[in-house]
Amino acid sequence: MELKEKVVLITGGARGIGKAIAACLAKRGANLVIADISYESAAETARELAATGIRTLPLKLDVSKADEVAAAFGEIMKEFGKIDVLINNAGITRDGLLLRMKDEDWDAVMNINLKGVFLCSKEAMKLMVKQKSGRIINIASVVAFMGNPGQANYSASKAGIVGLTKTIAREYASRGITVNAVAPGFIATAMTDALAENVKQEMLKSIPVGKFGSVDDVATAVAFFASPDSSYITGQVIHVNGGMYM
Ligand code: NDP
């Protein structure tokens, strides 16, 4: 129960990797804020996790909207009076080759995947600086390092997250706050289920361990960054990709 009494906010926490992270941290005793674009899904996940005996707070939050982000942190302070860990997990894809990519698909991905991390980190940091402690954990992607045809917007947003992680880590290391990222490879979720079967088979060939990752593989790496065991680690990226990128 190494995270007992800790307050953790997970964006996009209602399903997929975010939900797995929530379940993993619930087992370690953390109280959880499940924030998602759909309040109903956030509430359902929060209800499920509350059954494990932890406190939960579901929130409707679009991470790309500054007013919603500020309001969410207001709610968290009202309910818990502090924020120990922020996990910037919310993310979307709007794939297409560069010449066919619509401006709105570029903007949507950058606004949610990258600006969302900026907005949430800034609000969290205001509180963490006062607390003189905190953890921010950002979910990047292997494509930030390798690129991926059809994902100019997504890979740029995820590479941006890596730069943002390192910069914020440097800015606030002296305040007792660590900022790290986890870069998943190909993880079986709704996001990747949507890919065509031939694309999935091609991806599989590029993974040395010979299988796709699970949401729990990502969740345990996040749990490490949230735990006291990683207190001397900041500005780093853990790659969870079965050897796809080394
Ligand atoms: P999912 O699509 O399964 O889940 C993402 C969650 O975020 C959903 O609940 C979604 O809500 C929510 N969401 C979408 N837009 C917003 C928003 N603007 N504000 C708040 N919440 C939002 O994705 P994954 O679990 O697969 O991915 C989670 C993270 O991991 C993402 O950042 C993704 O880029 C990253 N990742 C995933 C990989 C994979 O293989 N799956 C690989 C590498 C990185 P709704 O469903 O209602 O839209």
Per residue in 143-178, pLDDT (tens digit) is 999 999 999 999 999 999 999 999 999 999 999 999
Ligand 1 centroid to Cα of residue 202, in Å, is 22
Out of 154, 172, 232, 245, which one is annotated catalytic?
154
pLDDT band at 46, cuts 50/70/90? very high
Active site residue 232: no
* pLDDT confidence of residue 105: 98
State both tokens at 18.
């975010």
Task: Give yes or no for residue 112 having a pLDDT over 80.
Answer: yes
**pLDDT of the residue at 38:** 98
* Percent of the chain whose predicted confidence (pLDDT) is above 70: 100
Give the side-chain half-sphere CA count within 13 A for 210: 0
The alpha carbon of 92 and the centre of ligand 1 are apart by a number of angstroms equal to: 5
DSSP-based three-state secondary structure for 186: coil
Q: Which two tokens stand for residue 142?
A: 């292997």
Mutate to test the pocket of ligand 1, among 11, 34, 37, 240 (most ligand atoms within 8 A of CB): 37
Residue 63 per-residue DSSP state: T
**pLDDT on residue 143:** 97
pLDDT at 118: 99
- Tell me the CA–centroid distance for residue 67 and ligand 1, in Å: 21
Mean pLDDT of the chain: 97
Length of the chain: 246
Q: Helix crossing, 16-27 with 39-50: angle to 10°? A: 30
Residues 162-218 pLDDT 10s: 999 999 999 999 999 999 999 999 999 887 788 889 988 988 999 999 999 999 999
Euclidean distance between CA atoms 24 and 105, whole angstroms: 32
Q: How confident is the model at residue 1 (pLDDT cuts 50, 70, 90)?
A: confident
What's the pLDDT at 189? 87
* Residue 230 per-residue DSSP state: G
Full-model pTM:
0.98
